[in-house]
Structure 1
Amino acid sequence: MLQGVRDNLKGTTVSIVIIVLFIVPMVIAGVGSSFLGSVAGTDAAEVDGRSVSFAELDREVYLQKQRMLSQQGVDPSADYLKDENLRGPVLERLTRKAAMLAAADHAGMGVDAATVNRVIATQPDFLTDERFDSQKFRSVLSRIGLTPANFKVSVAEDLMLNQINYGLEASSFVTQAEKAALISLVHEKRTFFTVDIPSEGLREQVTVSDADAQSYYDENQESYRKAEQVAVEYIELSLAKLAETMKVDEAQVKSQYEADVAKFDAAPEYTVAHLLIEDGDSSAAKLAEVQAKLAEGEDFAELVKQYSDDAGTRDLGGSLGVVLPGIYPVDFEMAVYSLDSGEISAPVTSDAGTHLIKVLDKHVPKPPAFADRKAEIKANLQRIQAEELYTANLESLDKLTFSAPDLSDAAATLGLTVAQSTLFSRTSGTGIAGNTDVRNAAFAPEVLQDGHNSRIVELANNRAVVLHVKQHEPEHIQAFDVVKASIVDKLTQQQVNEMLKSKADVFVETVKSGEAAEKLAESLGYAYSSFEGATRSDPVSDPATRSQAFAIAKTDSPVDLHVSITPTGVTRVIGVTSREPGKASEVGDDMVEGLSSQLARENSRYEGSSFEAGIVSSAKIVTR
């Protein structure tokens, strides 16, 4: 299987498919990077000779936290986001990856530089106006602590892992028996009926005495315990809101724009193709023949398809994409930089052989127009100004609230508004109280018991709050009179449910004895519905009932019955009278092929997980 994976690496078309499907979402996230050098004391783990450095682990923990924070409704102060709680799972993921990479190394797998170069140069996050932007490329990498050389290795590792995934998926197959069984199940038809037993008038037949309610309350008091709660007043200082008040004139924006333009990297970017002739007895003659045909005006791309020894780029006319600094040998890069668009180099030698390089496009980046940058520059200048004021206001906020009896003077001095929360507990709350640090501050002894203002609580996105307890409700068991109505309602519904179940049980037993379900339902005033030859996806009844009808085991009995409670609380008897397995002849070739592909994908996932588990279990993993 791994040999097949290695063979797939040689095919450019397959590689590109894998790049599009798998690697694009992973590049910017910084997945990989076990390339970091390690010395004694810098490794978090060692896996079959591959190291996972502490620097790599720290970066991956940071990236994992950022990915989680980007999800809506995530509390930045939640315990599961703390570094010490993320390190374990992240380290396990990195060691599993290292084990897979080590296995790939041992199997002789690899990814050529040209493929890696094409992947990097076509990533949307590195493009400006559909062209590779070297400044954006370096900027993105610097934000996640990578260099271009490091990143190249990271991409190569990810490509290699995804080749393994593709190899496993491509080798997965589905037997005819599996297809038949899946079609039989998925496209099965069932005839079933439903009988709804009405609850109208039953509540009126139930009486719950005060003694019954009191007895239930006495036996279940703990379920009526109400956690300690507080409501707070608070003032919030926000860098973003301060920035909105900062005044920045046109001249400042223009000056900053000109400074940015002065630093703009206008180095040309080259999109190239090459024709490779590997060293050998006939290489000189082959090179001379190619050069002669080029001199006669023959098309470079066609000559590549005919003569090039680079299987990875031959069918692409030799295209290597954009040349990135440090990706190719120095002589190769220097030859490129000496050419203009459309020109072809003299022969350039490297370890791979002799190259003829053609510049397909020479692009000189231009700085963005002032109009395109104006709004962003202004916002940045406003933020820079606001940062100084924010820091000063933080110090003032601390001094103004430290020994004050409340928050009013501090709010007036700093131009802030005193807001108020709803009641919240130590473990949950809404609004500002959804933050763990805010809740901890509110329940701190000096705030809750002594009545002082809280310390400054710094929140995400440069926000800070100080709070003061406005209302306090100690933990207590709610009085019987407060919860009596809910107890009576609960006990009433319990008795109604018992009555409905009894009615359903009688109905089921009567039908089992031979009575026709429809006739019996009509005599009892129950709602009866019948569904003939329905499939799992037919819009009949409701999804929950339909799912239950297909979950009932069909026996030799004329009818198989089940009592359920619908999501809306209706007591329903479901009866299945017949089952017809799905047939491929009734489904169509496209549907059969689709189901087969889906099953193959599921099989490959299981096989991939099993394969990975086997690699990891046999790997020598040492963590520190």
Structure 2
Amino acid sequence: MLQNIRDNSSGIIAKTIVGLIAVTFVITGVNFFSGGDADTIIAEVDGIEITQRQFLNKLERERRQLVSVLGDSTVIDEDLLRHSVLNALIEEAAATGYSEKLDFGVTDLLVDNLIVGLPQFQIDGQFDVKIFDRALAQMGMSRLSFREELKRDLIEYQVKGAVETSTLVMPSEVERLNALQNQKRSGELLVIKSDQFLSGVSLAPEAVSNFYDAKKSSFVTEESVILEYVLLANDDFRDQVSVTDEALRAAYETEVEQSANESERRARHILIASAEGALDKITDLKAQIVKGADFAELATRHSDDIASKDTGGDLGFVPKGTFAPEFEQALDKLAINSVSEPVKTQYGYHLIELLEVRSRPVDPFEVSAPRLREDLMERETDRMLSDNLEEFSNMAFSGSLEDLKSLYGVQIQTTEAFNRSTASGLFANDDALRRVFDGALYDGELNAEVFEVEPGLWMTFRIKEFKPKAIRPLVEVRDEIADRLRRQKAIDRAKKLAQKVERHWQDGRSGLPKGAEALETNPFSDLDRNGTDLLSRDALSVAFAASAPMDGKASTLVREIANNEVVVARIDSVNFNAGPIADNNLKSALTQLKKNQEGSEFWSVVTTTLEVNKR
């Protein structure tokens, strides 16, 4: 039935379906969180509360994203991450508070339309709730929390957009940027590779142990687990279900009987969206229809329902209960080919004409049979899953995974070792992680309480191996520390030599000083930002980061770059005569830069003037 509505719906029908989907968010919006109703307030921004759950959820998502990029959770600065997440939540709250002062807002309908329209949640162009739930589970979010976060993001974009659209770029600014962007520089570069000093680096006997003692906290491993687990879903009962021809025929006859009592109506409408003068306009259109004007022509010319106006307002055949309640009530009172008085709904004012009424059509048995067979199979396996869950849970509580395998035929699966940051798949959502890292299960004596890890998929697990937080022993990290110290000493030597070269050049001398004679420099003349094949992008950036020469004296700069290299640059002259502006993207780039700068300044003012209370 829902598929038929999707296929035939447009305009206001589509909006109504979105509304129905919104109801499911409210009804089942907490399907991935459990625990008490109380939630600790950790900060308040002008009366807008930030809860511990919000903070922990965002923290976990940001941590996972960093791990996916960096590949190593040990390099994450946890204090910096927590500080950044809290500041981000404060800025979101500031945007929400400021948007209320500006009377900005985002309707639930807009948010729901955006959700059902996201390709990530669709199959063959249609919203699929199972894909939606699976994606949210992987993000560790509930339906309502995702919806609310999306709404906050949209409000924040609105406020930031208002700031960005006020940004102005003057022609003189573009000219200055053009001169800077297209300048040409002449001078000399020296790239010093620190690896050449490694062979001459030695460490004091106590250097490694001293570094280890001072930095022990950086060698702490996270708690990690290896799990054995089993899953139970309705598919596990499919081989126990047989759909007979008699049951199939009975289901078809029931559908035929129901269709006889279910009618579908075809209607068309003209929508005038809510605005000043909307009622007067719709009343005038009704008067024109009464005088003989063509309904379809008026709909095409005047209707604000862009999805149906091109078909003369035709909404197709749909079952009762599809439209907004006011729309349905007006339609119930209409005779075929009659037109309603103006009808007010949340979308505006409508004129409605009832065109046809028919019994809901039913496909022949041969066409319906595969669908009905699958429906009956699904219904029966759902029933068996529901009937067996209590026993399955009791056995998980008092028995073993082997007992569950023996009785239900489920497979015992084993994970790789993982911690909170590296959890993936079914164990990546917050509810699963909370259950996995429950101290009562660490000894491996108990199975976890059976829980729904995804819609329709139930799990229990036992910890096969648990490793607590621990400082890696010195013997394990000795070589790692020694390599780090040796490389740092080599870089220090490279920097020292670079500074010697810099002083040599600052004194106005040519060539290279003693100790650097064997190195080869890279002289350049009228070099632009595109560089040459002889210079890496990092080395080129040093040449353009150095200040311009002053009073006829060359400028210099020393900087460490990638690959453990140190660059010293000498700039003898800079040519700012860039000529006419040829790059149309230059103004766009400058505009974006100013938007970012002014936006940052604006939010700095907003957040500093708000009352922020951290608890």
TM-score by structure 1 length? 0.57
CA distance in 1, matches of 2:352, 2:606: 41
In the other structure, the counterpart of 2:522 is: 528
* Cα deviation digits, residues 432-474 of structure 1 (max 9, x gap): 9994654553895xx3xxxx62452667443322125588998
Give 1:567's match in structure 2, choosing from 562, 565, 574: 562
In the other structure, the counterpart of 2:394 is: 395
Query: Structure 2 matches for 1:110-129, cutoff 5 A?
Result: 124=117
State the AA in 2 paired with 1:554: A
Matched residue SS, 1:576: strand
Give 1:214's match in structure 2, choosing from 199, 203, 206: 206
Residues 547-556 or 263-272, more deviating: 263-272
State the AA in 2 paired with 1:463: M
Give 2:168's match in structure 1, choosing from 165, 168, 173: 173
CA distance in 2, matches of 1:607, 1:365: 62
Does the CA contact (< 8 Å) of 1:189 and 1:579 recur in 2? Answer: yes
* Cα deviation digits, residues 472-519 of structure 1 (max 9, x gap): 99868535xx66555554554344334323322222222223333599
CA distance in 1, matches of 2:439, 2:546: 54
Query: Structure 2 matches for 1:80-99, cutoff 5 A?
Result: 97=96
In the other structure, the counterpart of 1:499 is: 493
CA distance in 1, matches of 2:285, 2:402: 87
Matched, 1:598 2:595: no
Matched, 1:237 2:234: no
Distance 1:412 1:418, change over 3 A: farther
Query: Structure 2 matches for 1:336-347, cutoff 5 A?
Result: 338=334, 345=339, 347=341
Matched, 1:100 2:99: yes
> Shift in Å at residue 301 of structure 1?
5.0
Matched residue SS, 2:509: coil
CA distance in 2, matches of 1:127, 1:271: 28
CA distance in 2, matches of 1:272, 1:332: 12
Query: Structure 2 matches for 1:75-474, cutoff 5 A?
Result: 97=96, 100-101=99-100, 103-104=102-103, 124=117, 168-191=163-186, 193-199=188-194, 202-208=197-203, 212-214=204-206, 216-217=208-209, 220-221=212-213, 223=215, 234-239=227-232, 243-244=235-236, 246-247=238-239, 251=243, 267-268=264-265, 270=267, 272-274=269-271, 291-292=290-291, 294=293, 299-300=297-298, 304=302, 330=326, 334=330, 338=334, 345=339, 347-348=341-342, 357=352, 382=381, 385-386=384-385, 388-389=387-388, 391-400=390-399, 417=412, 419=414, 435=433, 437-441=435-439, 447=443, 453-456=445-448, 460-461=453-454, 462-469=458-465
In the other structure, the counterpart of 2:8 is: none
Matched, 1:545 2:544: no
TM-score by structure 2 length? 0.57
CA distance in 1, matches of 2:154, 2:208: 64
Matched residue SS, 1:239: strand
CA distance in 2, matches of 1:288, 1:417: 72
> Shift in Å at residue 543 of structure 1?
3.6
CA distance in 2, matches of 1:299, 1:418: 64
Distance 1:124 1:204, change over 3 A: closer
CA distance in 1, matches of 2:189, 2:495: 15
CA distance in 1, matches of 2:182, 2:570: 19
State the AA in 1 paired with 2:270: A
> Shift in Å at residue 569 of structure 1?
1.1
Distance 1:289 1:87, change over 3 A: same
Distance 1:299 1:421, change over 3 A: closer
CA distance in 2, matches of 1:172, 1:330: 45
Does the CA contact (< 8 Å) of 1:222 and 1:477 recur in 2? Answer: no
Distance 1:540 1:521, change over 3 A: farther
> Shift in Å at residue 568 of structure 1?
1.0
State the AA in 2 paired with 1:562: L
Distance 1:161 1:526, change over 3 A: closer
Distance 1:30 1:163, change over 3 A: farther
CA distance in 2, matches of 1:158, 1:495: 47
CA distance in 2, matches of 1:30, 1:391: 27
Matched residue SS, 2:580: helix
Does the CA contact (< 8 Å) of 2:225 and 2:465 recur in 1? Answer: yes
Does the CA contact (< 8 Å) of 1:246 and 1:386 recur in 2? Answer: no
Matched residue SS, 1:573: strand
CA distance in 2, matches of 1:473, 1:52: 36
* Cα deviation digits, residues 130-170 of structure 1 (max 9, x gap): 8999xxxxxxxxx9579xxxx9xx99999999877665554
CA distance in 2, matches of 1:469, 1:160: 46
> Shift in Å at residue 534 of structure 1?
2.0
State the AA in 1 paired with 2:232: L
Does the CA contact (< 8 Å) of 2:405 and 2:411 recur in 1? Answer: yes
CA distance in 1, matches of 2:600, 2:440: 49
Matched residue SS, 2:562: coil
Does the CA contact (< 8 Å) of 1:121 and 1:321 recur in 2? Answer: no
State the AA in 2 paired with 1:213: P
State the AA in 1 paired with 2:231: S
> Shift in Å at residue 252 of structure 1?
7.8
Does the CA contact (< 8 Å) of 1:180 and 1:584 recur in 2? Answer: no
Does the CA contact (< 8 Å) of 1:233 and 1:419 recur in 2? Answer: yes
Distance 1:27 1:528, change over 3 A: farther
CA distance in 2, matches of 1:419, 1:200: 44
Distance 1:167 1:509, change over 3 A: closer
Distance 1:369 1:507, change over 3 A: farther
Matched, 1:516 2:478: no
Distance 1:598 1:69, change over 3 A: closer
CA distance in 1, matches of 2:459, 2:436: 12
Distance 1:609 1:237, change over 3 A: same
Identity of aligned residues (%): 12
Does the CA contact (< 8 Å) of 2:268 and 2:312 recur in 1? Answer: no
Structure 2: gaps (5+ residues): 1-17, 27-37, 69-77, 80-84, 129-141
CA distance in 2, matches of 1:493, 1:563: 18
Matched residue SS, 1:565: strand
Root-mean-square deviation (Å): 7.1
Distance 1:578 1:259, change over 3 A: farther
**Number of aligned pairs?**
530
CA distance in 2, matches of 1:490, 1:577: 37
Distance 1:250 1:258, change over 3 A: farther
